[in-house]
A and B are shown apart, each in its own frame.
Chain A
Amino acid sequence: MTPTIAVSGLTRRYRGHVALDDVTVDFEDATITGLLGRNGAGKTTFLRILAAQEFPSAGDVRVLGASPIENDAVLRRMVLIREDQSYPDIRVGHVLRAASWFYPNWSGELAATLLRAFDLPAGRPVKKLSRGMRSAVGIVVGLAARAEVTLFDEPYAGLDAVARQIFYDQLIADYAEHPRTVLLSTHLIDEVAGLLERVVMIDRGRVVLDADADTVRGATTAVSGAVPAVDTFAAGRPVWDRRTLASHASVVVGSPLTDGDRAWARELNLTLTPLSLQQAVVHASAGAAGERAEGSHA
Chain B
Amino acid sequence: MSTAAPTVHPLDTAVKVARLHLLDRVAYLLAPAAGLLFAFTVDAIIVGMLPSGDRGDHSVGGLAAICVVAFVIGLQSITKGLSFGLSLGLSRRGYYLGTALLAITFAAVSGAILTVLRAVEGATGGWGLSMRMFRLPYILDGSWYEAWLTSFVVLTLLYVYGCWWGLVYRRWTLIGMIAFAAGQVTVVLAGALAATWTHSWSDVGHFFTTLSAVGLTGVLAAVTVALMAGGFTTLRRVTI
Give 1 or 0 for each of A142-159: 1 = CB within 8 Å of chain B CB: 000111100000000000
Contacts of A89 in B (CB 8 A): 24, 26-27, 80
Contacts of A86 in B (CB 8 A): 80, 83-84
A146 to B1, CA, bound (A): 9
Q: How large is the interface on A (under 10, 10 to 19, 20 to 34, 35 or more residues)?
A: 35 or more
User: Which stretch in A68-76, A218-226, A279-287, A289-297 binds the other chain?
Assistant: A68-76
**A residues 58-100 touching B (CB-CB < 8 Å):** 64, 70-82, 85-90, 94-95, 97-99
Contact A70 B84 (CB under 8 A): no
Contact A85 B87 (CB under 8 A): yes
A64 to B1, CA, bound (A): 12
Give 1 or 0 for each of B52-96: 1 = CB within 8 Å of chain A CB: 000000000000000000000000100011011011111111100
**B residues 109-145 touching A (CB-CB < 8 Å):** none
In the assembled complex, B202 has its CB within 8 A of some CB on chain A = no
In the assembled complex, B200 has its CB within 8 A of some CB on chain A = no
Contact A71 B87 (CB under 8 A): no
Smallest distance from the beta carbon of B146 to chain A beta carbons, Å? 35
Count the A-B residue pairs with Cβ separation under 8 angstroms: how many? 98
Indicate the member of A64, A80, A98, A145 with the most B CB atoms within 10 Å.
A98
A54 to B171, CA, bound (A): 11
Contact B1 A30 (CB under 8 A): yes
Indicate the member of A64, A72, A77, A80 with the most B CB atoms within 10 Å.
A72
Answer whether A72 and B1 are a contact pair too, CB < 8 Å, given A90-B23, A90-B24, A102-B89: no
Contacts of A147 in B (CB 8 A): 89
Contacts of A85 in B (CB 8 A): 83-84, 87
Top-6 shortest CB links A-B = A72-B8, A104-B6, A88-B80, A73-B5, A94-B23, A75-B89
A-B contact list, 14 entries, CB within 8 Å = A48-B239, A48-B240, A53-B87, A53-B239, A76-B89, A79-B87, A88-B23, A88-B24, A89-B80, A98-B19, A102-B89, A103-B88, A104-B6, A180-B1
